[in-house]
Amino acid sequence: MPGMPRDNQALRQEIIDACLKMNALGINQGSAGNISVRVDGGLLITPSGMPYDIQIPDDIVFMAADGSVPSGQKNPSSEWRFHLDILNARSDAGAVVHTHAMFATTLACLHREIPAFHYMVAVAGGDSIRCAPYATFGTQALSDHSLKALEDRRACLLANHGMIALGVSLPKALALAVEVETLAAQYWRALQAGEPVLLPDDEMQRVLEKFQTYGTQPDEGS
């Protein structure tokens, strides 16, 4: 079966490296976060509660698209439900990164979304980064709330919990998670001085249109 242990070894190591990197970047602490990547027949996901620095590629868990886990593997992350549901529902997502980043989680504990205080909020796909309602970790209710908050978005906060970022690839998802945490830190700091001035809807629409081609380069030789 595709994705089983000893398959996708390079991708499995990339997942471990990304976990170590998100901690080194300060957007996660310990083994609180988790990562998944789409593969043929399902997804690869980090194991439950296992320190990143002792993981080896075969510790990364293959989960089939129906949620089944072939025997002989570690237990998957306790948050496997929203990873599975997101990748099944979002054809534009190739990877999901979940972290307990400090500032994103601070806002999430206040049940505050990140509004259009800065044009870079549009990097997540809309004029805000929503905060999903609270539900116990690892539950279907949390997955359902996450999917709703991610409609037309590539990132969201999770009330009293953390954040989720999606990307077409793992590097893209991790980069977005870093950007969301940066925005959360900026917004939190602005709130200390007062209520930030928000950009109007028409300006955010212009930014969203510009972001459709942001970062693209002409083909080689053109």
Given the residues 14, 79, 151, 179, the one annotated as active site: 79
Asked if residues 43 and 97 have their Cβ atoms less than 8 Å apart, the reply is no
Active site residue 181: no
Spatial CA neighbour of 49 closest among 34, 37, 35: 34
How many Cβ atoms from other residues are within 10 Å of residue 91's Cβ? 8
For residues 32 and 16, what is the distance between their CA atoms, to the nearest angstrom?
A: 14
How many Cβ atoms from other residues are within 10 Å of residue 178's Cβ? 18
Spatial strand order of the sheet with 95-99 comes to 61-64, 42-45, 34-39, 95-99, 162-167, 155-158, 131-132
Look at strands 155-158 and 131-132 and give their pairing: parallel
Residues 6+ apart with CB under 8 A from 3: 39, 40, 41, 42, 43, 44, 62
For residues 182 and 187, what is the distance between their CA atoms, to the nearest angstrom?
A: 9
Catalytic residues: 79
